[in-house]
Amino acid sequence: MYGMEIWINPACSKCRGALTLLDAEGAGYTVRRYLEDVPSQDEIREVLGRLGLEPWDITRTQEAAAKELGLKDWPREESARDRWIAALAEHPKLIQRPIITADDGTAVVGRTEEAVREAMSRSRE
């Protein structure tokens, strides 16, 4: 099993672009279709720690579910962190994508070629 994992939505062009680049570079990775294989709250906490970000930093606030929940009005502070994480676990479509975890224990939001290359560089010996 590879240490590098990419959370994707197959309908997302940024996800497809990241996969194309990983394949072109011969990178070893596993794919997680996170809308089908929904991450638990603990997995989201772990990825946030690897990213060095807060849950509101990886939330797609323009999604319909975000608007229904009124996320734009939620506090962005430590006391509300668990509420945000619960919303991401319950509505995985709100999670920014693709997220790539690297072998060195870090992660990146791979929306640019540079970010995908950064994850690959952290996963090479």
Q: Is 12 a catalytic residue?
A: yes
**In a 10 Å sphere around its CB, with 0-12 CB exposed, 13-18 middle and 19+ buried, how is residue 120 labelled?**
buried
Distance CA 45, CA 107 (A): 12
**Under 8 Å between Cβ of 31 and 56:** no
Quickly list H helices, 25-107.
41-51, 64-69, 81-90
> How many C-beta atoms lie closer than 10 Å to residue 83's C-beta?
13
Helix or strand (DSSP H, E) at 16? helix 13-24
Catalytic residue among 3, 12, 104, 118: 12
Active site residues: 12
